Chain A
Amino acid sequence: TTDLLADALAIAQHHDAVSGTSKQHVADDYAKRLFIGYKQAEELVSNSLACMVESASASGCKNPSINFKQCPLLNISYCPPSEADLAPGKKLVVVVYNALGWKRTDVIRIPVVNENVIVQDSTGKEIESQLMPIVKASIAIRNYYATAYAGESPTSSPKYWLAFRATVPPLGFNSYVVTSGKRAVAASIPQTFHRTDGSQ
């Protein structure tokens, strides 16, 4: 499309959209158009990533066979690709792209339904990972907002955040593989301390 992100860029520069000084129905319309822009860009980015990934290992990129999905509602712990139970023999691939001109190391967090997971880097070596329980209050908020914003009613509820450290080169990508069905060695449910009455 030739007008990719045109509406979104215009809205992002409008003083009412930036400051929140618009009527509710206008804010709703801004949100809708921003999301339309996002969805169009998502398709372009997914195809670009597929080309980059395939050309790194095969013979260039004409019709990329890999289909990438993103998680725009990851902030409310809603990410269908990482929450789905993987079919036998399948592995979840997470490609991490860095748009900045310097190497970055950051901790990635994705919601998962199963605690039996390990994370491997692109060479197949297992890397350290950590599980953290998702609090029930977050699930209630997530279900409500996933319905309100994406029109999707989540069918499963993830139990954990799976965290792992990703290192990504400047203006480049790295990939990690999440495998289920095997008890994690490094990932563990951390110690929990709960205090309600002053005692620890």
Chain B
Amino acid sequence: SDAVEVGPGNLKVLYSANGGKFTQYFNQRNQVRSSLEQSFSYYSADDGSKDAWKDLQASGAYVFRPNGSFPINSEKKVPVTILQGPLLDEVHQNISSWIYQITRVYKEKEHVEVEFTVGPIPIDNGIGKELVTHIQTDIKSNKTFYTDSNGRDFLKRIRDYRADWDLQVNQPAAGNYYPINLGMFLKDNSNEFSVLVDRSVGGSSLVDGQLELMLHRRLLHDDGRGVAEALNETVCALGKCMGLTVQGKYYIRVDPVGEGAKWRRSFGQEIYSPLLLAFSEQDGDKFT
């Protein structure tokens, strides 16, 4: 009674009518079910002025050095618009004035497509920000997650641990971040939870059952490692310049354990080889 069901095909995603967030993923074909909870937060970028580690290191293009994490609208109800049709359902969420999200569930697909539009990241308080989204599931991942290796094999990562040396954890977030070019996944004895991306992002699993993706960054300080400029991208048009707005997609799917690899490899290829569209005109019924 508290949920809105979205999805014209086998895949159903439940949205809480109360909070406007998705709560559950259910595939009617294979009966896979998982809780899903999404949230947004940002890491405030270290400006390099503190002497905490005696290296005066600012967060910049090369070095991810957050000094705090702040949830975005975690308590606020988000306006939701749901569009339902024969081919796909869409859920529009205006998360904040600079975060807009469209979630799509297709009739003939068994994954959820999430399109994010983020930016310009506000910097009027003088603090650089690195925006992340968290997707929490009920997978019992036990500190273990898997990330692709430059689009190739998925490698096992264990939080706060390296197999070949004794790791001292000074940066709990940055020390567990990995480059994500294709995707990452979690698994337990029952299910696999996979996320594939359409662009290179940063990612991690800092909490069991949770995957985290960094969607956009806007920084005000140079990290002193070579760029000699802050990562503060702007776009100029119509007589004004503003911070960059990015738009991208990621894809979510839950499979029975051992069955996710096929989707990750085949759909991963499709993400990076999109169908090419070409347009022309023709006269009347002259079908070439």
Contacts and interface: CB of A to CB of B under 8 A. Distances in A.
Interface of A: 18-24, 27, 45-46, 49, 53-54, 57, 66-71, 74-76, 79, 81-82, 86-87, 89-100, 102, 104-108, 110, 122, 124, 128-133, 135, 137-138, 141, 144-145, 147-148, 163-166, 168, 175, 177, 186, 188, 190-198, 200
Interface stretch (B23-31, B132-140, B272-280): B272-280
Given A23-B228, A130-B87, A148 B278 contact: no
Nearest to B242: A144
A128 B86 CA distance: 8
Given A68-B278, A177-B287, 19 more contacts: A21-B62, A45-B276, A68-B279, A70-B278, A79-B279, A86-B281, A99-B276, A108-B277, A128-B86, A129-B87, A130-B86, A141-B117, A145-B245, A148-B237, A190-B84, A191-B82, A191-B83, A195-B79, A198-B77
A144 to B, nearest CB: 5
A132 B81 CA distance: 12
B280 A97 contact: no
B18 interface: yes
The prevalent SS among residues of A at the interface is: mixed
Contacts of A19: 61, 200
14 contacts: A23-B229, A46-B278, A66-B288, A67-B280, A90-B283, A91-B284, A93-B280, A95-B277, A100-B269, A108-B275, A108-B277, A141-B117, A190-B84, A193-B82
Contact of A97 (B77, B232, B276): B276
For the side of the interface on B, what is the size category? 35 or more
Given A130-B85, A163-B88, A92 B108 contact: no
Contacts of B88: 107, 130, 163
A3 B162 CA distance: 45
Given A130-B87, A195-B79, A144 B238 contact: yes
B163 interface: no
Contacts of B18: 198
B87 A128 contact: yes
B270 A100 contact: yes
Nearest to A90: B281
B80 interface: yes
A132 B278 CA distance: 21
Given A92-B279, A100-B273, A164-B87, A195 B236 contact: no
Given A24-B229, A122-B287, A70 B279 contact: yes
A93 B279 CA distance: 6
Interface in B51-92: 61-62, 77, 79-90, 92
Given A132-B90, A148-B237, A186-B86, A106 B275 contact: yes
B7 interface: no
Given A163-B87, A192-B81, A192-B83, A53 B275 contact: no
Interface in B234-288: 234-238, 245, 247, 266, 269-270, 273, 275-285, 287-288
